[in-house]
Amino acid sequence: MAYRKTKIICTIGPATNTLDKIRQLAEAGMNIARINMSHGDQKGHLEVIKRIKSFNKTAAIPIAILLDTQGPEIRTGDVIEDFTLKVGDTIEIQAGLEHPESKSVITVNYRDMLKDLKAGDRVTLDNGIINLEVIEKTEFGLMCRVVDGGIIKSRRHINLPGIRVNLPSITAKDVQDIMFGVKNDVDFIALSFVRTAGDVEECKRMVERYNGHAQVIAKIEDAQAVQNYKDIIAVAHGIMVARGDLGVEVPIEELPIIQRRVVKECALQGKRVIVATHLLESMIENPIPTRAEVTDVANAAYEEVDSVMLSGETAAGKYPIKAVDTLDRILKRIEASGGIGWSRDFKSDEVKAALAESAVELADHLKTEAIVVFTRRGLTADFVTAYHPRYATVFAFTNMSQVRRKLLLNRACYPYRIDFSSDPEKTIKTAFALLLKKKLLSAGSKVVIVSDIIAGSERVESIQVRTL
């Protein structure tokens, strides 16, 4: 059986928030469900979390949950009615207001905008669709010239490229949402608009303070994060290359270079990495993707990322299940043609890492179908998957459900929960029986095992080659 290596994250929204749709997404290939805290409220999100957990009770393979924080969002206020901006028009932006007094004014919720911007700076709305250039400061705001026009609607997202905004990386709303996530046992927290390693450390401390176990995924989506990406990768459990805001915050031609640089560094540090946004954007409206989107997905697969993420395609699109199925087919085909291999240069001083590297080298040399890993906290499985086996699927066995769900993000890793015996040999036999019963592998399959064994009065870690 050909197992897909690259995992799929799906954003749950109005198009997919029922139990039946969640089941269909999982059957099509979803591994992780994303809860986007930028939309909806905690009550609605709790219902979705309950449905995912209900599905997990009977699912052969569970779905992990990723909570994505809103971050320090700058947005327009309400407009009296939608209006159109044309190239060359002038428009005034007034900061710190929610309700305009005139149809020809845009209000924003960020009070320090007047202080931060100067003539010549750029303001973008709706993910770069509408672009304004600041002409001058006025008594109450900023007078701007329209560079790229469009329709102004209420509560549109704003970016200020190249401007260091005076907003906390973790807002009061984010704190409440992180507490909500910890309380409801989510597996990952994606922290939006991370700027420094300190932002990640603060979030990790927050999770620990609330007795949570969620891993922190740092989203790289502004220029300051790009400057600090190596330090951010070093402290985060994983990274998300969030290309939506990032593509507005930096020159668009730099985006592929930044993606490749971040993905490579994650491989060199042995960290998980997710590529997100606009993968199959056209499938929000159409039943097939564009050829460019297929190539974009193929590029992520070739770079050997751990996971790719769908946003509007599954949250609000017309073809959410078909989008996942399409993604699954593209990924499998590209994985079969080989990858870039940056992970071969990953090095660690940890003993478990050396053990994992040797196991992967052995599996690659023998071209075994699988590497079977026994792991309590997930660390050994993390190291094995960090070395990206060329041929083998990683079957990770743990005695903790939380660890099992976290390993769903790992490339080429299929985790299962079993009870561990005090005798390692019995645990291995239990795992083998499960692999055969579920037809994950067939009798006669050659596998590499990473497990401890009893040697006299001691338990020592070992690498073994066995036949099922």
Question: Which residues carry out catalysis?
Answer: 34, 75, 219, 277
Residue 247 has φ and ψ, to the nearest 5°, of: -70, -15
With a CB cutoff of 8 Å and minimum separation 6, the contacts of 282 are 289, 290, 293
Nearest by Cα to 363 from 447, 430, 289, 434:
447
**Which tokens hold the place of 7?**
């995992």
How is residue 465 written in tokens? Answer: 């080659």
Distance CA 152, CA 106 (A): 8
> What is each CA distance from 300 to 282, 293, 308, in whole angstroms?
18, 11, 8
At 402, which amino acid appears? Q
How far apart CA 303 and CA 288 sit, in angstroms, is 23
Long-range CB contacts (within 8 A, 24+) of 227-234: 228/195, 228/196, 228/197, 229/261, 229/262, 229/265, 230/265, 231/196, 231/197, 232/194, 232/196, 232/197, 232/199, 232/200, 233/262, 233/265, 233/266, 233/269, 233/271, 234/197, 234/269
DSSP 254: G
Two tokens, residue 224:
């300051």
Q: What stretch of H or E contains 208? A: helix 197-209
Q: What is the largest CA-CA distance in the chain?
A: 84
Considering Cα of 138, then 140, then 145, then 147, what sign does the dihedral take? positive
- The distance of Cα 10 from the centroid of its chain, to the nearest Å, equals 10
